[in-house]
Amino acid sequence: MAFSFNVVKKDSATRARLGRLVTTHGVVETPAFMAVGTQGSVKALSPRDLREIGCQMILANTYHLYLRPGVEVIRDLGGLHCFMGWEGPILTDSGGYQVFSLGAFRKISEDGVRFQSHLDGSTHLLTPERVIEIQEDLGSDITMVLDECIPYPATRDYVCLSTERTVRWGRRSLEARRRSGQALFAIVQGGMYSDLRESCVKGLTQLPYDGFAVGGLGVGEGETLLSEMAGFVAGILPEDRPRYLMGVGRPQDLISAVQSGYDLFDCVLPTRNARNGTLFTSRGKLSIKRAEFSRDPRPLDESCHCYCCQHFSRAYLRHLYLAGEILAAILHTLHNLYFYNHLMKRLREAIREEGDELRILNSEWTKEERSP
Amino acid sequence: MAFSFNVVKKDSATRARLGRLVTTHGVVETPAFMAVGTQGSVKALSPRDLREIGCQMILANTYHLYLRPGVEVIRDLGGLHCFMGWEGPILTDSGGYQVFSLGAFRKISEDGVRFQSHLDGSTHLLTPERVIEIQEDLGSDITMVLDECIPYPATRDYVCLSTERTVRWGRRSLEARRRSGQALFAIVQGGMYSDLRESCVKGLTQLPYDGFAVGGLGVGEGETLLSEMAGFVAGILPEDRPRYLMGVGRPQDLISAVQSGYDLFDCVLPTRNARNGTLFTSRGKLSIKRAEFSRDPRPLDESCHCYCCQHFSRAYLRHLYLAGEILAAILHTLHNLYFYNHLMKRLREAIREEGDELRILNSEWTKEERSP
């Protein structure tokens, strides 16, 4: 099935929109949050757990899978869906972000990026063409172009040079495609310079990408700048293509970005926090290690319908966490991802219904930290 | 519901028997293997996973739960079943074994055993009466008397003194009971001295225990001595009470012990091996780290019907294991416990049918290590 995206409904008061993204492996209702399965596994959950808690699409990482187990292994075993037993849509990150955050001795040239593996120090060259080839072998539903994720802060000169190269790499990525049935998203860079973001968008939108991601945000620039820049870029991206805000973020960031017109999100926050004992609830964040929960018979969130909240008390979860039991990571991840998926569902319903729900969600999450 | 045990059928060629053990929280068809949930969680699995793979009863540990989270916490939260979300039968070990293997500076007297917590060094006294009280607060279906697990080797004099004390502790345990609805099993000690085992059995069987466990085996005495002593003790235990061989063992040990007349088993082997990447299959043990599996599209065991074998290849499991993914521990534990439960089911069917199945199982597992 060919890739398609349709805006089903637009909110009248904000730029939020309800969308329907069709991929070879199924439909994704947007706005949607993708669970992060970096190494071909969403940490601590099985594919059936993911389906149960409403995950529509997962994100896997080209850089990590390329280094281990190797793309040939996955290709020969029938592609990533088959390899990891996930039949739903998969988006693969290009690996650009990981090369810059994990790869040692990286050297960027017009050709691509040379780096050393964080696993064994071996040297690799990733070019825009090679990254497409790898993602075609993985067989993901949405592939991403190789980009440079620019650190913050960065000089205007560097951001300008880097962003122009990312645009050129995008063109090479499009030309390198050999397989059908996979979408290709470009990545908007440009640092914190609106005019460079704008020229990047102009460069990218001249070509037939299936969607546009916004990268280089959430890299230390702070909440205000993140929100402003994300809002600015969303406003100049085409209406008819999906918009993906990469690596963001907290519940309040998602609520805000949906109202700026974003459709797709991914972030390690719910899964990583889960393993660290930090849980998201409808009344704010909760740290399960706190002594106050040692005899608390209540579930993490009394209004939550996940398996964890339907069967286990805070006292038990605290015990599991302090005892180092793997089940703590499992139940906490299940809950946090359920929470994120449920939040996205509420956002979709809010857009569909045009009631007070968007305003309610806004006010619920205006304060970052709330004690449950 | 009161505790009861009935031998449903006896094998004509061996001492194997099919039994029905009724507890307050449900029926256990024996011979049965109990999954070990030391700290109130069978490592890496949720209660629904346990039900799915056919776990009938689980074992939890009095010593560990007493130290963390503390028995009052569990009691106040409605007992262990409610605390850990497991509605089926639970057997609680007395903690004797852990005091002797984990507790520092332990001092045994007629009164009981004084020891230091392996968690924080705090000092505790466990008496036979206190151990019953704790298990009544936990609310387990089968409770165990406090015993001393005698190390191997040990002098005849020491074994004699210790075993006589375990018999006296048993009597005090019976007298200490305040709650109904919980069974109490005595523990046969006696080291590797048949006559001391025999006098222990004579001492214990004068009292109305609901079942008899055999302890102090699998402590380094070797396969032959283990099998001989287990067989000897089973032969002198009452026919009408369940027999529980504690801490044993490998598939071949279970097959042998069932034919000696044992009904219940527990062992950390399937769960611990799972986390170490060692899997049980119908063709022997398999170490998932081996390079030969890096591109192997087959499931762990082609004849297995567990979720892991139905959905994932050896290549994927090897990748998860090498990448340190929690899902490796989850899927491997699911498989190994399914394997153990399925083995027990085959043993029960073999006894029921009186066909060649027992002989087939024997021959399948005569060699310990087989390459799949």
Distance CA A229, CA A127 (A): 28
Q: How confident is the model at residue B356 (pLDDT cuts 50, 70, 90)?
A: confident
Interface of A with B in 320-339 (CB under 8 A): 320, 322-323, 325-327, 329-331
Give the gap in angstroms from C-alpha A45 to the nearest C-alpha of chain B: 6
Section B305-333 average pLDDT? 98
- Catalytic residue, candidates A210, A263, A266, A301: A266
Q: A111 an active-site residue?
A: no
Whole-number mean pLDDT of chain A?
Answer: 95
Q: Which residue has the tokens 């990286």?
A: A106
Q: A67 CB near a chain B CB, below 8 Å?
A: no
CA-CA distance, B35 to B41, in Å (whole number)?
10
B263 catalytic residue (yes or no):
no
Burial (CB count within 10 angstroms: exposed 0-12, middle 13-18, buried 19+), residue B239:
exposed
Interval B42-73: pLDDT, tens = 999 999 999 999 999 999 999 999 999 999 99
Query: Stretch A89-100: mean pLDDT, rounded?
Result: 90
**Strands, sheet with A104-108, edge to edge from the N-terminal-most edge strand:** A104-108, A113-116, A123-126
Gyration radius (Cα) of chain B, Å: 20
Distance from the Cα of B199 to chain A's closest Cα (Å) equals 40
List, in order, residues 6 or more apart from A204 with CB less than 8 Å away.
A167, A170, A186, A188, A212
Fold of domain B4-267: TIM Barrel (3.20.20)
A246-263 pLDDT, tens per residue?
A: 999 999 999 999 999 999
Mean pLDDT in residue range B247-264: 96
> What residues does B36 pair with on adjacent strands?
B59
Residue pair A99/A118 in contact (Cβ under 8 Å)? The answer is no
At A371, the pLDDT band (50, 70, 90 cuts) reads very low
Distance between CA atoms of residues B157 and B162, nearest Å: 9
Residue B201 contacts A where some CB pair is shorter than 8 Å = no
How would residue A105 be classed by pLDDT, with cut points 50, 70 and 90? confident
Average pLDDT for A6-35: 97
- Using an 8 Å CB-CB cutoff, list chain A residues near B311: 47, 85
A54 has a pLDDT exceeding 80: yes
**In chain A, where the domains are located:** 33-267, 274-364
User: Are B132 and B126 in contact, with CB atoms under 8 Å apart?
Assistant: no
Q: In degrees, to the nearest 5, what angle opens at C-alpha A241 toward C-alphas A235 and A242? A: 85
The residue annotated as part of the active site, out of A11, A93, A137, A253, is A93
pLDDT of residue B360: 81
Q: Record the tokens describing residue B353, joined without a space.
A: 């049918």
The fraction of chain B above a pLDDT of 70, given in percent, is: 98
Cis peptide before A297 (omega within 30 of 0): no
In the 8-state DSSP scheme, what is residue A51?
A: H
A12: exposed, middle or buried (Cβ count in 10 Å: 0-12, 13-18, 19+): exposed
As a 3-state breakdown, chain B gives helix, strand, coil percent values, each rounded to 5, of 40, 20, 40
Q: Enter the pTM of the model.
A: 0.97
Instruction: Give the pLDDT mean for B150-159.
Output: 95
A368 or A174, greater pLDDT: A174
Which of B49, B93, B147, B263 is flagged as catalytic? B93
Cβ-based contacts of B46 with chain A (< 8 Å): 307, 327, 330-331
Alpha carbons within 13 A on the beta-carbon side of A89: 29
| Residue for token pair 């990268």 | A215
Q: If you average pLDDT over residues A44-70, what whole number do you get?
A: 97
The pLDDT assigned to A354 comes to 85
Say if strands B278-281 and B284-287 run parallel, antiparallel, or are unpaired: antiparallel
> How would residue B366 be classed by pLDDT, with cut points 50, 70 and 90?
low
| CA distances from residue A263 to A42, A105, A167, A199, B353 in whole angstroms, order as listed | 21, 35, 22, 22, 60
DSSP of B25-64: TEEEEESEEEEE-TTSS-TT--HHHHHHTT---EEEEHHH
pLDDT attached to residue B371: 46
Beta bridge partners of A116: A104, A123
Confidence class of residue A102 from pLDDT cuts 50, 70 and 90? Answer: confident
The residue with greater pLDDT, B48 or A218, is: B48
CA distances from A87 to A48, A244, B7, B33 (A): 10, 22, 47, 35
How much of chain A exceeds pLDDT 90, in percent?
A: 90
Rounded Cα distance, A196 and B87, in Å: 61
At residue B152, the 3 state secondary structure works out as: coil
Nearest to B327 among A41, A315, A320 (CB): A41
The reply to whether A102 touches chain B by the CB within 8 Å rule is: no
Instruction: Give me the half-sphere count of Cα atoms (radius 13 Å) on the Cβ side of residue B86.
Output: 30
Residue B323 is nearest to which of A39, A297, A323, comparing CB atoms?
A39
d(CA A251, CA A50): 19
Measure CB to CB from residue A73 to each of B84, B307, B315 and give the nearest one.
Answer: B315
B313, A83: Cβ pair inside 8 Å?
Answer: yes
Q: Who wins on pLDDT, A368 or A101?
A: A101
Nearest to A85 among B47, B76, B312 (CB): B312
Q: Which residues contact A220 (CB under 8 A, 6 or more apart)?
A: A152
Closest CA to A101 of A47, A73, A64, A60: A64
In three-state secondary structure terms, B286 is: strand
Give yes or no for A290 touching B (CB within 8 A). Answer: no
Q: Are the beta carbons of B188 and B215 closer than 8 angstroms?
A: yes
3-state DSSP assignment of residue A219:
coil
Helix (H, G, I), strand (E, B) or coil at B179: coil
Question: To the nearest whole percent, how much of chain B has pLDDT over 90?
Answer: 90
**CATH number of this structure's domain A33-267, picked from the four choices 2.60.40.1120, 3.50.50.60, 3.30.70.100, 3.20.20.105:** 3.20.20.105
The per-residue pLDDT for range B76-131, each reduced to its tens digit, is 999 999 999 999 999 999 988 888 788 778 899 999 999 999 899 999 999 999 99
Round to whole Å and give the CA distance between A298 and A282: 14
